[in-house]
A and B are shown apart, each in its own frame.
Chain A
């Protein structure tokens, strides 16, 4: 597990390198959201059906998406030089492994199994008219805040005035 070095989180994000940067991000997000809608992932019921072994379609959603990203990452890191809109190098998404990956994955699993929602699908669900999903989105922001508050507090109580990662 430790062979994976932590790399920068999704590029530098030094926005506005090109006037096309935000329009392309918007377009990519729309394609992403369209896919979540089309694949029924914007419906928590369908996710819960998968987790109860009543509809295995979700395997094709994640599998189909990972085949496209995997092929793209594989080819771009070998054949392409730098991204046109930012000048960033092409990398793979490699995060360092530690206990938080397991604990966080477990907590996420309980939440996903309870509600059938995850972040991207929740935003998409709003797009298909599901205003009830605002409960989930509010919960996610609260959870992210609690996590940040707790880790900041943890960091200041264990070390003196050094900011955690």
Chain B
């Protein structure tokens, strides 16, 4: 269970970006989490709720988009979702597949409210 440390990293990325944008509050945090990232989304959300208390991100919604595992066949180039019972390429049966998605773990975007709406206008965002 290493979600606590990971959630701390998530929060520090979120707070840094929010501060950079001059935000008064973070309302939503969108994450992409691969199926094989070894991170449990519910656990991450739980810790985020605790760690974010007293910060700009207190009460922010945490949205997790799970990214499925996908392989690319090194033999024929076919991209496919492997079955646990059959990792081999369904097109050419080669088992020289390489993982192309499924290990992602990143903060995709955040939604914030700006204290100073003037700065939001000048940066071209509304």
Question: Do the two chains bind?
Answer: no
